[in-house]
């Protein structure tokens, strides 16, 4: 019986039928139908053909051919070969192979796999049947012709039933006894995850014992027996897929596997350990949501340019499956696992084993035993490595990455970078740091358009603070002049109508703590240095500082809790750097006025920040902004808080209980950073992560500055006798 598809096309005013049909020969049909006729003849292999699968079955192939199916005019059918058992029927095939035209070549590996599915034992003979289905979209017809094939499967030692990866370019070396076995997916498909080294050979073997070992290589993505060993162009971890039936080999780099906490969209990078396993130790923190603790997670893998979720499998034979990310939000909550409750606020070892598609997460004891007893020694290495990795000796400014990338619009991070160098110079007196401070002036000025003036008042405020420090540290008069210019430009940003320093010089820009906080600190410090010699719009610098502080306190500060908000309308926008400059402003004003309310404000803000802008552990808390992510402005915020929080710790009027609490907090954060969030690159350079509770995959300028600021702060506290 013919199967038909009614096709309709909508015109502007009416529906008309498309006049397509077929007969013998095919002509336009009055019934407006699309017709695909069944294949009339199967050509080869002929009925009752005898086929003995060859010993060189990777190379041996059989051509399956049939007569073209007739169809409506303009319709080109596609085909599907249906294989079924001797006593089976076409509607219940054991295997199907698609074909674009009326023939397809199948090698003996695939035929061996089909024979096995038909129940033919290794080394034995049996019968399989085949026919062809012709189809076009939903229209299809199965041929009434059925051919039998008598197949003899090869002996047991002939098929490749196991594959191993070996060679000088592998992580196992040339000793085949140490090679790693592929995971067998089907009778003919194998997969492995492993590290390969560029320019060194690797190959596949089918056995690791005895003398009769077959060797395979890769050439143009094809499997070649006894060919020259293959090489990879770039060192890395790769997924290698081998399909014996098509002799194809697919090699793609796996650049990342991460634990993915769904509700925060936060990836925690795992490090490749070898033999298909990725591991890390990190903090497991549950987000508190209206429905309770949020515990759902999965994993994310990047293979080439493709992002893939690794998620819970419904197949009992494997615990984890892959899902290519097409629509992130729609797929986010599919196949999730939930953290065990005993992991809450614990350090945990996370392992993903791609050799068997499994994972485990187990709590581990907190261990800071590897942290150097001398913070000065750590700071020496930390800041020295920062210079080697990020300071551009030619351009005289900081690069954005370890690879030397330059962000031409990066202005504000430069100020915090030179602050770290000033910290190191004040601590050590090392002339190499003084030279960098000297060179920085012209390098960053040139990068910013041969001026230090910028559209963003907050960016100029960071430079205003850093330039004043640079002048005081080195007595370089250029910085005295630039600091004065910056201060005058910053005051131009005062909003006469609403108060506060605006974010930038655009008409719609609004005032906020990011600009007003650091400006307040500048005002006090300049008043201490220059007194009443600087008057702007009738106010000296201390009066400006008080005016700015009161504006922040009245519009952006919650005196009941100590929280500092980014905007008057948004009380949930809270960041560590705003807390840092607010408490820093309060401390500066307390120092010059002696009014305890300023110290009280600073303490309340410090307490609120430690409790609310942090992640809880069993023994303390880790400073954290919710939006931390790779190569982002927010990664510098913690460093700003740490700078002014350190000054609060050292203040003689800070109550002893607060001093001890704050001291323990900052030291705990530094130990966590060194233990759980630091690694080294191939040059031995210290690399800090943007989150201080898991290892970095790579680092960028802002995250590195925050880490360096923390370590310099600990060295300063140690030097001053607070540790």
Q: CATH assignment of 253-363, given 2.60.40, 3.30.160, 3.40.1130, 1.10.357?
A: 2.60.40
The CATH architecture one would assign to domain 449-719 is Alpha/alpha barrel (1.50)
Specify the residue for token string 């065990």: 340
pLDDT at residue 300 is higher than 70: yes
287 has pLDDT over 50: yes
Helix (H) or strand (E) holding 716: helix 701-719
Instruction: Say if residue 29's pLDDT is above 60.
Output: no
pLDDT at 408 (0 to 100)? 83
- Does the domain at 4-152 match CATH 2.60.40.10? Answer given as yes
Reduced to 3 states (helix: H, G, I; strand: E, B; else coil), residue 325 is: coil
Average pLDDT over residues 432-454: 97
- Stretch (H or E) spanning 259: strand 248-261
Confidence of residue 59 (pLDDT cuts 50, 70, 90): low
Residues above pLDDT 70, as percent of the chain: 94
User: Computed from CA positions of residues 362, 365, 370, 371, in that sequence, does the dihedral angle turn out positive or negative?
Assistant: positive
Q: How far apart are CA 259 and CA 241, in angstroms?
A: 24
> What spatial distance separates the first Cα and last Cα of the chain, rounded to whole Å?
90
pLDDT score recorded for residue 55: 60
Q: Are 66 and 82 in contact (CB under 8 A)?
A: no
Report yes or no: 172 and 73 within 8 Å, Cβ to Cβ.
no
Q: What share of the chain has pLDDT > 90, as a percent?
A: 82
Which residue has 């001026």 as its token pair? 451
- Least-confidence region, from 205-219, 284-298, 331-345, 539-553: 205-219
Q: For residue 429, is it left (φ>0), alpha (ψ between -120 and 50) or beta?
A: left
Here the contacts of 374-377 (C-beta below 8 Å, separation 24 or greater) are 374/718, 375/670, 375/711, 375/714, 375/715, 375/717, 375/718, 375/723, 376/427, 376/715, 376/718, 376/719
Residue 265: name the closest of 312, 331, 363 by CA: 331
Cα Dmax for the chain: 109
Q: Is a pLDDT exceeding 80 seen at residue 3?
A: no
Whether pLDDT at 156 is above 90: no
pLDDT(659) > 70? yes
Instruction: Tell whether the model's pLDDT for residue 570 goes beyond 80.
Output: no
Q: Taking the alpha carbons of 576, 580, 581, 586 in that order, is the dihedral positive or negative?
A: positive
Q: Residue 1 pLDDT more than 90?
A: no
What is the C-alpha separation between 62 and 443, in angstroms, rounded?
Answer: 70
Q: Does position 298 have pLDDT exceeding 50, yes or no?
A: yes
Question: Per-residue pLDDT for 14 more than 80?
Answer: no
Is 315 exposed, middle or buried (CB count within 10 Å of its CB: 0-12, 13-18, 19+)?
exposed
* pLDDT given for residue 31 in this prediction: 55
Alpha-carbon gap, residue 212 to 94, rounded angstroms: 33
Structure token pair of residue 306: 């493709």
Task: Please tell me the predicted confidence (pLDDT) of residue 158.
Answer: 58
> What pLDDT sits at residue 266?
87
pLDDT band, residue 24 (cuts 50/70/90): very low
pLDDT in tens, 481-514: 999 999 999 999 999 999 999 999 999 999 999 9
Find out whether the peptide bond into 25 is cis, omega within 30 degrees of 0: yes
Contact 229, 217 (CB under 8 A): yes
Residue 15, pLDDT score: 33
Q: Which comes out higher in pLDDT, residue 268 or 30?
A: 268
Confidence class for position 16, pLDDT limits 50, 70, 90: very low
pLDDT at 58: 59
Classify the phi-psi angles of 148: left when phi > 0, otherwise alpha if psi is within -120 to 50, otherwise beta: beta
State how far the Cα of 383 lies from the Cα of 285, in Å rounded to an integer: 30
């Amino acid at each position: 019986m013919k199967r038909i598809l009614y096709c309709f096309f909508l015109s502007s005013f009416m529906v008309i039928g498309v006049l397509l049909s077929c007969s013998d020969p095919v002509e336009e049909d009055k019934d407006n139908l699309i017709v695909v006729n069944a294949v009339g003849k199967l050509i080869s292999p002929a009925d009752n053909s005898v086929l003995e699968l060859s010993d060189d079955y990777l190379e041996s192939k059989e051509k399956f051919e049939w007569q073209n199916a007739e169809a409506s005019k303009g319709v080109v059918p596609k085909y599907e070969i249906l294989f079924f058992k001797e006593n089976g029927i076409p509607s219940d095939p054991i295997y199907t192979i698609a074909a674009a035209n009326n023939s397809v070549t199948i090698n003996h590996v695939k035929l061996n796999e089909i024979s096995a599915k038909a129940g033919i034992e290794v080394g034995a003979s049996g019968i399989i049947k085949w026919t062809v289905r012709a189809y076009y979209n939903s229209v299809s017809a199965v041929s009434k012709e059925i051919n039998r094939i008598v197949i003899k499967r090869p002996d047991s030692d002939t098929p490749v039933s196991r594959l191993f990866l070996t060679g000088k370019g592998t992580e196992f070396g040339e000793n085949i006894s140490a090679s790693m076995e592929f995971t067998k997916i089907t009778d003919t498909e194998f997969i492995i995850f492993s590290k390969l080294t560029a320019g060194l050979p690797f190959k596949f073997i089918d056995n690791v014992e005895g003398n009769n070992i077959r060797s395979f290589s890769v050439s143009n993505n094809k499997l070649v027996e006894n060919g020259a060993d293959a090489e990879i162009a770039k060192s890395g971890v790769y997924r290698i897929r081998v399909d014996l039936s098509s002799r194809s080999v697919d090699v793609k780099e796996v650049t990342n596997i991460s634990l993915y906490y769904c509700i925060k969209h936060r990836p925690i990078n795992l490090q490749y350990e070898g033999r298909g396993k990725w591991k890390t130790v990190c903090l497991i923190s549950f987000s508190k949501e209206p429905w309770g603790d949020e515990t759902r997670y999965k994993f994310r893998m990047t293979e080439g340019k493709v992002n893939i979720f690794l998620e819970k499998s419904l197949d009992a034979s494997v615990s984890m499956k892959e899902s290519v990310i097409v629509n992130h939000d729609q797929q986010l909550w599919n196949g999730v696992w939930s953290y065990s409750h005993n992991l809450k606020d614990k350090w945990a070892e996370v392992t993903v084993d791609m050799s068997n598609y499994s994972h485990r997460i187990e709590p581990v004891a907190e261990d800071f035993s590897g942290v150097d007893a001398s913070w000065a020694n750590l700071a020496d290495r930390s800041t020295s490595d920062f210079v080697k990795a990020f300071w551009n000796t030619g351009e005289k400014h900081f690069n954005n990455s370890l690879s030397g990338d330059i962000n031409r619009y990066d202005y504000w991070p430069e100020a915090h970078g030179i602050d770290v160098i000033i910290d190191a110079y004040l601590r050590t007196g090392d002339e190499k740091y003084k030279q960098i401070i000297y060179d920085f002036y012209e390098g960053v000025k040139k990068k910013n358009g041969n001026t230090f003036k910028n559209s963003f008042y907050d960016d100029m405020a960071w430079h205003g603070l850093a330039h004043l420090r640079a002048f005081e540290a080195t007595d370089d008069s250029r910085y005295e002049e630039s600091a004065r210019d910056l201060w005058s430009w910053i005051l131009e940003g005062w909003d006469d109508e609403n108060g506060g320093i605006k974010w930038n010089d655009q008409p719609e820009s609004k005032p906020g703590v990011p600009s007003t906080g650091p400006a307040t600190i500048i005002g006090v410090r300049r008043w201490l240095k220059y007194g009443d010699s600087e008057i702007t719009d009738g106010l000296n610098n201390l009066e400006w500082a008080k005016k700015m502080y009161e504006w922040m306190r009245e519009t952006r500060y919650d005196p009941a809790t100590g929280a500092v908000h980014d905007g008057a309308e948004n009380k949930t926008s809270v960041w560590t750097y705003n807390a840092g400059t607010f408490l820093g402003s309060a401390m500066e004003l307390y120092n010059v006025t002696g009014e305890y309310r300023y110290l009280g404000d600073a303490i309340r803000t410090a307490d609120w920040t430690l409790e609310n802008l942090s992640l809880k552990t069993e023994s303390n808390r880790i400073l954290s902004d919710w939006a931390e992510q790779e190569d982002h402005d927010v990664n510098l915020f913690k460093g700003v808080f740490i700078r002014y929080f350190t000054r609060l710790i050292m203040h003689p009027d800070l109550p002893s209980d607060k001093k001890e609490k704050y001291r323990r907090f900052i030291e705990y954060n530094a130990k966590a950073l060194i233990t759980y969030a630091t690694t080294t690159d191939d040059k031995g350079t210290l690399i800090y992560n943007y989150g201080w509770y898991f290892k970095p995959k790579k680092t960028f300028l802002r995250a590195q500055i925050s880490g360096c600021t923390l370590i310099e702060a600990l060295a300063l506290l140690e030097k001053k006798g607070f540790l």
